[in-house]
Amino acid sequence: MQVEYPKPSWSQKFLVLDLLEGLKTTFRELFKPKVTVRYPEERNEPTDRFRGMFKFSYDRCIACKLCAVACPIDIIYIDVHDDMIEEGGKKKKVKVLDRYDIDVKRCMFCALCEEACPTKPKSIWLTTKTYELATYDRNDLYFNMQELEYWEDRPRYTGLPEEDEKPRLDETRLLK
């Protein structure tokens, strides 16, 4: 079925009113405060609840594996073995963590692992406000126990400014 459109009038053809209508929006937006930032020279500070890169604490972890069970896509790999220690003259059985790996490239940052962790404070958490671990190699995003604890020491992407050079965004520029 062929659709018949109404013929444009003479004024619509020659006065380009549609173009002016579009430009009206352009000029209106021109004078509004900008919300974009010139990353990486400028950056927004993530909110306190922002779920970013993990942090892991070996000392706090009790090797219970609850985080691995809670992970919906099974990307937390934990190996433990039992050991005996002496405490107050008595022998006590403890779990020792041999492996704690996360395949971060597959993570969807749901934080169910953090929620499941029973230690206080948590042994695994995502509120580090870090999202700058970009890499050219996917394999770099597989983190073992040591890397999850000390990823600040990893070589950084060369385009990023140093920590003390980072300008913070003027919050008055953000839309309320």
Supply the minimum distance, in Å, between the C-beta of residue 46 and ligand SF4.
16
Binding mask 1-40 for ligand SF4 (x = CB under 6 A): ----------------------------------------
The amino acid occupying position 21 is E
Listed residue (56, 41, 53) closest to 134, CA to CA? 53
Q: In this structure, what are the phi and psi dihedrals at residue 67, rounded to the nearest 5 degrees?
A: -65, -40
If binding is defined by CB under 6 A, does position 113 make contact with ligand SF4? yes
**70 or 169: CB nearest ligand SF4:** 70
Q: What's the CA gap between 7 and 37, in Å, rounded? A: 45
**37 or 116: CB nearest ligand SF4:** 116
Q: Which of 53, 55, 67, 143 binds ligand SF4 (CB under 6 A)?
A: 67
Alpha helices by DSSP H, the chain: 10-14, 17-30, 66-70, 112-116, 145-149
If binding is defined by CB under 6 A, does position 65 make contact with ligand SF4? yes
Q: Which of 117, 127, 148, 149 binds ligand SF4 (CB under 6 A)?
A: 117
Contact in structure between 111 and 117 (CB atoms under 8 Å): no
